[in-house]
């Protein structure tokens, strides 16, 4: 069945350093890949997303890359700040239905000043 | 625009009871998806509604059901609650399909 694996499960970085989170997916029909940030007591907040016809997308300090052949995509956060500390989830559409997402297990990112 | 709202934010129920959760999507959004979040299983898709019709369904037992109204507001119902149903229930809305999903704050359900 559909599966999204996410690594690492925890990531500690010094303020100002970069953070990279990697995900792999199994469904060849997946064509939409969002990333969400979840802070304690809140719902997931979309931070960036990418569609299958794009290899890379950037928004200020955040970038996502997609390799459809290898079925993996990555989140890159540069110049990390303490407010970047949260749990980050990758997700992939199940088939071509964007309303149905398969999520990775999450990465706890801790940015220390 | 106001974001996705969910009510109630917290619920405590006992085994065997049933519960109804409500979700109001972002104005203009017609698709609502529901997810269950637990520490053990993570975020799991429950179902998606679009224009009052269930469009997708996840792998959950029939005790979990939902519906959507003509104003796009959605409810989900869990009957015969079990301890394992304790979770954060999240709904997400998008304008049509396919489109980006925006999540609400969730309803924290505790089953005793």
pLDDT, position B95: 84
Would an 8 Å CB–CB cutoff place B36 in contact with chain A? no
Task: Reduce the DSSP state of residue A55 to 3 states and report it.
Answer: coil
Report the residue of chain B nearest A101, measured CA to CA: B45
B103 has a chain A CB within 8 A of its CB: yes
Chain A residues touching B98 at Cβ < 8 A: 32, 93, 96-99
CA distance B90 to A63: 26
- In this predicted structure, what is the pLDDT of residue A1? 55
CA distance A18 to chain B (A): 26
The token pair that represents A31 in the structure block: 């064509």
- Residue B36 forms beta bridges with which residues? B44, B89
* Alpha-carbon span B94 to B80, nearest angstrom: 30
Which candidate from B31, B97, B105 shows the least CB-CB separation from A43?
A: B105
Round to whole Å and give the CA distance between A50 and A60: 15
Contacts of B97 in chain A (CB under 8 A): 97-99
Q: Do A44 and B43 touch (CB under 8 A)?
A: yes
B34 has a chain A CB within 8 A of its CB: no
Instruction: Say yes or no: A29 contacts chain B, CB-CB below 8 A.
Output: no
DSSP E strands in chain A: the ranges are 4-7, 10-14, 19-25, 32-38, 45-51, 56-59, 62-67, 72-77, 86-94, 97-103, 107-112
Is the CB of B43 less than 8 angstroms away from the CB of A89?
Answer: yes
Q: What is the pLDDT of residues B8-31, one digit of tens each?
A: 999 999 999 999 999 999 999 999
In this complex, is the C-beta atom of A45 within 8 Å of any C-beta atom belonging to chain B? yes
Q: With an 8 Å Cβ cutoff, are A98 and B98 in contact?
A: yes
Q: What angle do CA B67, B91, A49 make, to 5 degrees?
A: 130
- Which tens digits make up the pLDDT trace of B57-107? 999 999 999 999 999 999 999 999 999 999 999 999 998 756 788 999 999
Per-residue pLDDT of chain A (113 residues; tens, 9 = 90+): 568 999 999 999 999 999 999 999 998 889 899 999 999 989 999 999 999 888 999 999 999 999 999 999 999 999 999 999 999 999 999 877 777 899 999 999 999 98
């Amino acid at each position: 069945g559909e599966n999204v694996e996410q690594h690492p499960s925890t990531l500690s970085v010094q303020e100002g350093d970069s953070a990279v989170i990697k995900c792999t997916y199994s469904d060849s029909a997946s064509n939409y890949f969002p990333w969400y940030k979840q802070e304690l007591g809140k719902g997931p907040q979309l931070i960036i997303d990418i569609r299958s016809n794009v290899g890379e997308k950037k928004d200020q300090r955040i970038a996502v890359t997609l390799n459809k052949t290898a079925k993996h995509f990555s989140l890159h956060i540069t110049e990390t700040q303490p407010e970047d500390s949260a749990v980050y989830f990758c997700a992939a559409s199940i088939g071509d239905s964007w309303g149905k997402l398969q999520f990775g297990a999450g990465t706890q990112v801790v940015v220390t000043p | 625009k106001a974001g996705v709202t969910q009510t109630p934010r917290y619920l405590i129920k006992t085994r065997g009871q049933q519960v109804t959760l409500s979700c109001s999507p972002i104005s203009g959004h017609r698709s609502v998806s529901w997810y269950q979040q637990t520490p053990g299983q993570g975020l799991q898709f429950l179902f998606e509604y679009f224009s009052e019709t269930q469009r997708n369904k996840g792998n959950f037992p029939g005790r979990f059901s939902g519906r959507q109204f003509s104003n796009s507001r959605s409810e989900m119902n869990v009957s015969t609650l079990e301890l394992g149903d304790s979770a954060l229930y999240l709904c997400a809305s998008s304008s049509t399909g396919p489109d980006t999903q925006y999540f609400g704050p969730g309803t924290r359900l505790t089953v005793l």
